[in-house]
Structure 1
Amino acid sequence: MPDNSMADDRPLYERDPDAWQAYLAEGNAKQARKRVGADVLIRNEQGEVLLVNPRYKPDWDLPGGMAEANEPPHQAAERELREELGIHLQVGRLLVVDWVAPHGPWDDSLMFIFDGGTLVGDEMTALRLADDELLAYTFSPLDATETLLRPYVWQRLTYAFDGAATGRCRYLLNGVQATP
């Protein structure tokens, strides 16, 4: 009978670091990967919402975009604001996380909306079309955004607007409040 009194009870990552790294690499190669988008809720002093009109989409959208490989969502949002609108803004609290089911040729994704606060003074004058991805930008009253945005983006925006006012972060499934 083997003597188990000398058994090494340490976790695998301590007993055999190379085996642990191989285990992680195998999981990384086989597990699903998600696309991540990060948008920003930005308002002006009148409480209107900043919208952008992308060249590559049929409708208006919130400012932001897709995260690059290994880029945190909040940094993706800040980078997109710099690249597309020329503003250097540190985003605030997370307002919404929306899991979007596969649709058309796209796999599922996670969409984040961060609070960008209210632009005033120099921040407003710094706002400009900084690259050719956008045709225009505008500030719109919340109730008028419903006709400009795709329905699920508008739904996400309403939850984000509420989250900015109440301090609550919302978890959505396809734009609808989830009840985990």
Structure 2
Amino acid sequence: MTTDFATYIAGLPRILAGANMLFRSADGRVLLVEPNYRETWTLPGGTIESDENETPRQAARRESVEEIGLDVEPGALLAMGWTTAGPVRPPSVTFLFDGGVLSDEQIASIRLQESELDSWNLVGLAEVDRYLTPNTAGAVRAAVEALATGGAPVELVDGRPGADAR
């Protein structure tokens, strides 16, 4: 019995893919946004558009322009996170890029995509757990550590570093 390639592809597991940017202020706080469609805050970014053959880097830039009005070329890949499937969603992979340190002018020019976001805030690392899911908070801490040490991108599983973090 043979299966044609399209049928094979259609039978593969569905995996969501997203890309985010880690923007920081000069004093080390991180830029978070408050979506109006869920309870927790997040980083600027979103879904990679597969219909457009968009790359993770392109998605991070596009989403940052759309969500906060900042057109910044993504820097280094800081982390790549795998989130296992949950009760209402398939597994996902997220690419986290360095958005750099924002100037006072850039911060003053932030304009929210009002159809998706209610607000934004610059938050110290000690406060991220109050705003973010455990997975996203873990990714932020790992990314900041990678920046501080000049290390390679961090592999995350459910927000924790390491290939065998589960």
Is 1:80 matched with 2:80?
Answer: no
CA RMSD of aligned residues (A): 1.8
Q: Indicate which of 148, 159, 162 corresponds to 1:175.
A: 159
Residue correspondence of structure 1 range 103-142 to structure 2 within 5 A: 103-142=86-125
What letter corresponds to residue 56 of structure 1 in structure 2? Y
How does the TM-score come out when normalised to structure 1?
Answer: 0.81
Task: Name the SS for the 1:147 alignment partner.
Answer: helix
Given that 1:78 and 1:91 are in contact with CA atoms closer than 8 Å, whether structure 2 keeps it comes out as: yes
Larger-gyration structure (1/2): 1
CA gap of 1:130–1:105, structure 2 versus 1, over 3 A, is: closer
Structure 2: gaps (5+ residues): none
Q: Indicate which of 10, 25, 37 corresponds to 1:29.
A: 10
2:163, 2:157 → 1: CA distance?
Answer: 9
- CA drift of 1:26 comes to 5.1
Task: Name the SS for the 2:107 alignment partner.
Answer: helix
Is 1:51 matched with 2:51?
Answer: no
How does the TM-score come out when normalised to structure 2?
Answer: 0.87
- CA drift of 1:40 comes to 0.9
Structure 1: gaps (5+ residues): 1-21
Given that 1:95 and 1:160 are in contact with CA atoms closer than 8 Å, whether structure 2 keeps it comes out as: yes
What does the per-residue CA deviation read over 1:24-63, in whole Å, with 9 as the maximum and x for residues that have no partner?
5454333334210111110011111000000011011111
